[in-house]
Amino acid sequence: MTQKTNFYIWNDDSVASCAELLKAGEVVAFPTETVYGLGADASNPNAVTKIFTAKGRPADNPLIVHVSSLAQMEEYVTDIPAQARKIINTFMPGPITVILPSNGVIADNVTAGLATVGIRIPDHPVAQALIEATNRPIAAPSANLSGKPSPTSAIHVYQDLHGKISAILDGGSTGIGVESTVVDCTGGVPTILRPGGITREQLEIALGIDIHVAKPDVAELPSAPGMKYKHYEPDVPLVLINGDEHFFQEKINTYRSEGRKVGILISEQLANALAADLVQVCGSRDELATVAAHLYQALRNFKTEDVDIILAEVYPETGVGEAIMNRLRKAASFIEIQ
C-alpha cells in the first residue's frame, strides 16, 4: 500500500515532527554516522513490523537498537559484562554495536526471538537529537530495500522507500559509509559478528586481547544483521577480480568480447590503467576509509541500462578493508582469481 512520505530537512522542528511520528508507531528514515537507518519504536512490535514490510526484510534477521546513552542502554539489558563496558566507554558514541542479554523490554521481532539484543549509541547529531526527542529506543536497520546497497544519502532512501514509509529526515551524506561493527559480548571473549566502522585492530588494542571474527552459518538463526542473507547487491551482477591490472583488463576484454557492457568498480590507483564501458572510482587503496565512504554510492551508480556486469577490485583485509571486503563478498556473484 502506498502512503505519503514526508521529506524533512534537519532542524529542531523537523526532529520534533519525526519524533512524534515515531511515538505514534510510524517509521522514519534518519542519518547516522554509518548509513541512513529506518527507525521505529523498538518497544512497539506493531511499529517494528512496518520496518520489515517496507524493506521486504526476512523476519529472522534481527535489528539493531539505537539509544542515546549508557543509562538508556541499561534499561533494556540484564547485564553489561566488563569487556562490553570497556567497548562502550572507548568507542561509543560511534560505529559499533554490542550484543547483550535482553531483559525483554525490546520487542521480540527486533531480536528475532533471541534472548539477546544488539544495541549502540550513534555518533551523529541528527540521530542523537531524534532519540532524545523520542525518549524511546529506536530499532533501525539500513533504510534501503532488503538486499540492495545501503543508503548514504537521503536521496538513496527516497529512491528505495518513497511511498512505503512515513518520513525521511535529511541530514546530509553520512560519513563512514559502512554499517557499525557488531560485537557479541555474551560469551567469554568478545566476537565480531560483522566487521564495520571500528576495526578488529582497534578492538584488540582497547581490550588487550585477540578478537575472533565469526563466520556466518546459514543453517542457524543469525544473531546479528548481515550474517545470513545476501546483501548490498547492485542492479546488475558483480564479480570480484583478484589479480593484477593485466589480469583485470583481460577479464574486462573477455566479457566485452561476449557482447556485454562492462562496468568496473575500482580505486584511484587503477583508474588510469583499465579501460571499460563505465568506470566508478570509489576511493584510494592508500586510504581505505575513502573506499568505505563511497562504496555504496558507487554500487548504486551502476544501472541496468548502462552495463550488463560489474567487475570490482579486491582490497587488503586490514583495518576497515575487512568491512569493505565483507560487503563486496555479499554483493558478488563469484570471484575471478589470477
Q: How far apart are CA 314 and CA 276, in angstroms?
A: 17
Nearest alpha carbon to residue 207 among 181, 230, 226: 181
Tell me if residue 177 falls in helix, strand or coil: coil
Q: How far apart are CA 299 and CA 98, in angstroms?
A: 28
β-bridge pairing 309-313 and 212-213: unpaired
> Are 98 and 87 spatial neighbours (Cβ–Cβ below 8 Å)?
yes
Binding site membership: which residues? 34, 57, 61, 66, 116, 120, 140, 142, 150, 180, 194, 232
Binding site membership for ATP: which residues? 57, 61, 116, 150, 194, 232
> Are 209 and 198 spatial neighbours (Cβ–Cβ below 8 Å)?
no
DSSP secondary structure code for residue 166 in this structure: S
> Are 267 and 313 spatial neighbours (Cβ–Cβ below 8 Å)?
yes
Binding site membership for L-threonine: which residues? 34, 66, 120, 140, 142, 180
DSSP secondary structure code for residue 210 in this structure: -
Nearest alpha carbon to residue 263 among 234, 288, 243: 234
β-bridge pairing 36-41 and 28-31: antiparallel
